[in-house]
């Protein structure tokens, strides 16, 4: 096994229970909900979408760095001939997969069980499709800003504060309205990943959100890598 493979293997195994639990929870809700039809399909899909976009990224982010800081196991890994950057990149890659997998599997189940039933298949794909980039961005923000937190709960709290700030920006919608010609652009939906969730937005708006969020994510990823390297070299 090469060092990179070994890093992937370790992260995957370490996160295994988290993503299996997330996957099981999300899929059970979709399967049971759509099978029994206790609620309209729309409600079941939105509920599982909320879990995929908000809860799972938070849960995964708690396990990426904070768990290791809590258990003080990072020291061992850093003593091996591997750089902090390699560790960080692998952690984020596994985190991304762990966030994306439940949403993708849920969308497949929903399509098979309720495609074109109450909602069109395209709508179902779109909803879960929005959950993936939102979840990844949310996980990234939580990991980067909770890097110095020494417990998983402190990391979760950081994630919730981030979410609260985004929601606050959305509530202050009027402040961020921009008129370009005849089009009204809501900047709060561009600078926060909530823009991914706005199915009613025009294509230009959605594209702007994607571009701004991609750039922000890249800056955040790079900054996170620096923070992680500095954190591990600070000895604290």
Binding stretches for other proteins (CB under 8 A):
1-3, 5-6, 9-10, 13-14, 71-73, 75-76, 78-83, 232-236
Specify the residue, 85 or 117, whose C-beta has the smaller distance to other proteins: 85
CB of 74 to other proteins, least distance (A): 9
Cβ neighbours of residue 116 closer than 8 Å, sequence gap 6 or more: none
* CA 146 to chain centroid: 14
CB of 133 to other proteins, least distance (A): 31
Dihedral of the CA atoms 197, 201, 203, 207 (nearest 10)?
A: -50
Closest CA to 63 of 28, 29, 99, 27: 99
What's the CA gap between 135 and 52, in Å, rounded? 7
What's the CA gap between 144 and 57, in Å, rounded? 13
CB of 234 to other proteins, least distance (A): 7
Specify the residue, 2 or 36, whose C-beta has the smaller distance to other proteins: 2
Specify the residue, 191 or 231, whose C-beta has the smaller distance to other proteins: 231
Q: Are 70 and 151 in contact (CB under 8 A)?
A: yes
Q: Are 190 and 212 in contact (CB under 8 A)?
A: yes
CB of 67 to other proteins, least distance (A): 11
Specify the residue, 1 or 175, whose C-beta has the smaller distance to other proteins: 1
Specify the residue, 55 or 82, whose C-beta has the smaller distance to other proteins: 82
Q: Which residues of 171-180 are buried (b: 16+ CB within 10 A; e: fewer)?
A: eeeeebeeee
CB of 215 to other proteins, least distance (A): 30
């Amino acid at each position: 096994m090469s060092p990179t493979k070994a890093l992937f293997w370790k992260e995957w195994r370490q996160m295994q229970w988290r993503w299996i639990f997330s996957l099981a929870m999300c899929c059970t809700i979709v399967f049971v909900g759509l099978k029994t039809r206790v609620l309209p399909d729309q409600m079941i899909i939105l509920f599982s979408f909320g879990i995929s976009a908000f809860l799972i990224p938070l849960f995964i982010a708690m396990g990426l760095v904070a768990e290791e800081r809590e258990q003080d196991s990072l020291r061992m890994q850093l003593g091996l001939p591997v750089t902090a950057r390699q560790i960080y990149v692998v952690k984020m890659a596994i985190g991304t997969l762990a966030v994306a997998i439940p949403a993708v599997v849920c969308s497949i189940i929903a399509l098979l069980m309720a495609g074109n039933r109450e909602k069109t298949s395209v709508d179902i794909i779109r909803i879960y499709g929005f959950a993936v980039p939102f979840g990844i961005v949310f996980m990234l923000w939580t990991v980067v800003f909770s890097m110095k937190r020494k417990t998983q709960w402190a990391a979760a709290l950081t994630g919730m504060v981030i979410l609260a700030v985004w929601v606050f920006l959305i509530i202050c919608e009027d402040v961020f309205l921009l008129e370009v010609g005849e089009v009204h652009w809501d900047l709060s939906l561009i600078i926060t990943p909530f823009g991914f969730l706005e199915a009613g937005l025009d294509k230009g708006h959605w594209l702007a959100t994607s571009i701004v969020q991609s750039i922000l994510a890249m800056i955040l990823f790079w900054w996170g890598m620096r923070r992680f390297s500095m954190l591990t070299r600070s000895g604290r």
